Structure 1
Amino acid sequence: MNIQAASQHTPQPTPNVGQPVSRNNHANHELSIRVRDLNLWYGETQALKSLNIDIFQRNITALIGPSGCGKSTFLRCLNRMNDLIPSVRIKGLVEMDGRDVNAAKMDEVALRRRVGMVFQKPNPFPKSIYDNVVYAPRMHDLVSRKPEQDELVEKALRDAGLWEEVKDKLDQPGTSLSGGQQQRLCIARAIAVQPDVILMDEPTSALDPISTATIEDLMDRLKEKFTIITVTHNMQQAARVADYTAFFHLGEIIEYNDTKTMFANPATKKAEDYITGRYG
């Protein structure tokens, strides 16, 4: 995909709140997550400012923008990982299935089962490959008997594109794998609990080009089953893998668009300048 923006900037109609400027006609458009007027502060410093966005099921949505613009902070709002930071204060709506994930009655453990996360640096547990995958399903009582566990481990590793490489060494430590294999193991661990959404915070930034291509191919397959939201600083990666792209700047969403349109004909000058490398 050519990521050079059109030289002539063509304004597009203002979308409904939370809707992309244009829609990808080949993508699934069922709503997964609805965000309205989301604000977040670290102490007195406001990091997110009145965010509005609708994220669609079984699509890949990329979050792009300069460092420190709020992408990862927003990602962590979706499974309440920001709750672990004492100075954080949040206002606004993050809704899944008509329920506000920030509601006092929300079960955070159950939420994080539904909204899994893969981090920038692979972080396998200090356990065997087998136990890395089956640990969370056991904790959530998704499997009990050994045959069920074996079936789940194989399925998760197959879905993560790792089974053929590790099937004969499942008792070896997850940390013994290469960096790219470790990241796929972390993806297998995330999908083993059957989430609805997978959050990925720069999942390939620490990997070599071959491992990066493998993860990107995997993401394209996984979106048939899961909603994927990924943070990336790699414009080419966003262009390759994402159905939709949201451009963040200084804690705001400046533009939200289907990716092909975003890179070919952005609706805002700020997005065009970022995509074409005038700043970043």
Structure 2
Amino acid sequence: MSRQNSSPVAVVTGAGTGIGAATAHRFAADGYTVVLVGRTEVTLRQTAKEGPEGAELHAWVADVSDLAVVTATMDGVAERFGRLDVLVNNAGVAIPGTAERIDLDSYRTMVRTNIDGTFFASRAALPHLRAVRGCIVNVGSVAGLRGEWNQAAYNMTKGALVNLTNSMALDHGREIRVNAVHPGVTLSRQLLRDVLAEGTPLYERFVDRVPMGRPAESAEVAAVIAFLAGPDAGYLNGVHIPVDGGLTASDGQTDLYRMAG
């Protein structure tokens, strides 16, 4: 049964962990009704359980790479809650490999999730977003702006998201806004916290390149997503914000003067 929601409604894909979970919690804290979309019910329910007290967080199991399923999801959200104000396309998969060595299954998994999933979810949400002059925030990566070693297929998919953002901002700018954030390395999983622990060789290499000298926390990325979805960003459309501690401000060189002493 549908109901008219007094609060805005946000759908966050890939909401079971990391940036997606942090984004869901941030929107909930800001007073949204939040629908958590992902393939694994256990992680979605954990995100909902860990949200702010009294928040409306609803788990909704769906595979965004399936057009019929994701269309039914967006229609179902709008029917149940009476509106759909924000879509955060966060679902993504990163599997390392060069163009020569990446296996075909891994390649297709990234294309289905990172490209098809974003395209299908956006297409399905458009009629509902249009009705309330809502917005889309895509979660890309600095790897889509510059490229990274040993991530050929992932870089390609995130580059595609950049131009999908641009194209939709042009095509639909009189109806909705479409913007993107591009995180650098973010401590979204325990594995990353372990390999980037302060004092490890990888940590030292990482902070040598990042002006702020540390990785991001998921909540810091979520804050930028929330800003782009909110009224203070009301005239931003087709914008790309790197959330990378200054990494993409560099030409790629290390600090030669510091190294020279």
The two structures have a TM-score, normalised by structure 2, of 0.33
Choose between structure 1 and 2: higher helix proportion. Answer: 2
Instruction: Answer 1 or 2: higher relative contact order, Cα 8 Å, separation at least 6.
Output: 1
